[in-house]
Amino acid sequence: MRKILTTCFLTTVSLAFSPLILVSANNVNGNQQELKQTNRRNPNEIPFKVCGESNTWKRPTAAEQRKHLQSLSRYSPAEIEQLGGNYWKFNIFSFINYPGGSGSFDLINRTGLWQLKNPTRPVRCDNYIAELNAKKIAGVWVFSHKIVNIEWVGGRYVMQVKQTKQGAQVIQFPRRETLQTLPLTVVNQNGKKVAVLAD
């Protein structure tokens, strides 16, 4: 079962960490042009790439999550009872380091993203791991929200999101700093902060 899930992670589920994201050159060029136009309108706006998304994904039920974790023979009874701990509770996750194959496997399973099917890949996100570890980019997973925009305000990335009933997005954006902790604040359209779990 673990082998099957790992393969799924490398090919479809791991939207952020897999370099195997393919789209046509026309779509890539169009997206880059759109980002350039956005930057000209607002120099503080941070362009971002949607590396993968689903408009239909929902977190599994607690019973489904518990059964899935039990099937992996990887987690202790206490871990299974927690369903995934904080990974199960949060909807926004930020990354500035690649967690490795084992860490990524845990993320997929503890968040409930293992249930994701047929995600779309709007743009190429090549060299993701190398650029992430080199502090050139940051990665964000967003559940039950859609990203509206990201701005650089007072030395912080301020990401505005819109709440949705379902869905998931995995994005990356260029960094303007090299801090050990990503200075990211996420707010909804009413300006209320949304909790973020950082790596």
Report residue 15's pLDDT band, with 50, 70 and 90 as the boundaries. Answer: very low
Distance, CA of 21 to chain centre: 14
Flag whether pLDDT at 36 surpasses 90.
no
- Please tell me the total count of domains within the chain: 1
What is the model's pLDDT at position 126?
82
Q: How high is the mean pLDDT of the chain?
A: 83
Instruction: For residues 66 and 83, give the distance between their C-alpha atoms in angstroms, rounded to a whole number.
Output: 6
Range of the domain at 148: 2-198
What is the model's pLDDT at position 26?
36
Q: For residue range 98-156, list pLDDT tens digits in order.
A: 989 999 999 999 999 999 888 888 888 888 899 999 999 999 999 999 999 999 999 99
Q: For residue range 58-76, list pLDDT tens digits in order.
A: 999 999 999 999 999 999 9
What DSSP string describes 61-81?
PHHHHHHHHHHTT-S-HHHHH
Mean per-residue pLDDT, 7-20 = 38
Flag whether pLDDT at 9 surpasses 50.
no
pTM of this structure: 0.79
What is the model's pLDDT at position 122?
86
Instruction: For residues 13 and 51, give the distance between their C-alpha atoms in angstroms, rounded to a whole number.
Output: 11
Q: Is 159 in a helix, a strand, or coil? A: strand
Q: Give the count of beta carbons closer than 10 Å to the beta carbon of residue 164.
A: 14
